[in-house]
Amino acid sequence: MSTDGWKNFGEYGADIDPGNIHGKTALGRALEDALERMIIEGGIKSPASTRRGLKARMAYLTTTQGGPQALTDAGITATPKTIRAWTKGKQRPRPANLEAIDTAYWNLRAANILNNPGVFKQHLNNQGKGTRVEIHPINQHVVEEKRRRDNLRTRTLQIRYIWDEAVDAMTTNDLAALEDIWDDIIAELDSDWGAYTYVRHIGLGA
């Protein structure tokens, strides 16, 4: 299925609204949002300002490959002795260092997940159950009234099998692959597929 079939997009004003974007672009953004949520939701919940949160972050940063460099990149210049004291909870860093430790933790966690896309693929594949795709149709307020489609609504699909390819396409910014994947997704809408080639927003859920 090719999006060339919907050559009239914008003829009646739908492309005036910059919020109306191609599904491949919206899918890429949705994947990035889902990845960010996974990084945050799976991370340490206690704030760095608490003893528990600080010790957990320091444990991660001192036992995970790349941790020392992440601390350096975040601006930490403390001695190894001070680092050990922070890790054991025997000394509390100054506020600026607490913020830097928090930054180092989240940067390292994000880098480790990004460098291991299999984790994100596994999350989206959800043990074969797939991921819910919520498709918000284009904003038609800018379309000529007589050309508006009143039956367009938010559609929800449970999508399986495409997530390995989708994550690979997102990480390499392969828009052609994302377009093919989006075509496969909206093919589930049968005759309505063309109306969702361009969309307002795409959300990914469990």
pLDDT digits (tens, 9 = 90+) for 72-113: 999 999 999 999 999 999 999 999 999 999 999 999 999 999
Given a contact cutoff of 8 angstroms between Cβ atoms, the answer to whether 159 and 140 are in contact is no
**What would the pLDDT profile of 131-174 be if each residue is shown by its tens digit?**
999 999 886 555 554 454 555 788 999 999 999 999 999 999 99
pLDDT band at 57 (very low <50, low <70, confident <90, very high): very high
**pLDDT value at 50 more than 60:** yes
- pLDDT for 29 equals 94
Average pLDDT estimate for 194-199: 87
Residue 177: exposed, middle, or buried by beta-carbon count in 10 A (0-12, 13-18, 19+)? Answer: middle
pLDDT band at 206 (very low <50, low <70, confident <90, very high): low
- pLDDT above 90 covers a percentage of the chain that reads 73
Above 90 in pLDDT, residue 58?
Answer: yes
The H-or-E segment that residue 177 falls in is: helix 175-186
114 pLDDT above the threshold of 50: yes
Please count the CA atoms within 13 angstroms of the CA of 203 that sit on its side-chain side.
Answer: 8
Q: Worst-scoring range by mean pLDDT, 27-41, 101-115, 181-195?
A: 181-195
Q: What is the pLDDT of residue 18?
A: 57
Whole-number average pLDDT of the chain: 86
In this predicted structure, what is the pLDDT of residue 63? 96
How many Cα atoms are found within 13 Å in the side-chain-facing hemisphere of 110?
A: 14
Q: What is the pLDDT of residue 109?
A: 95
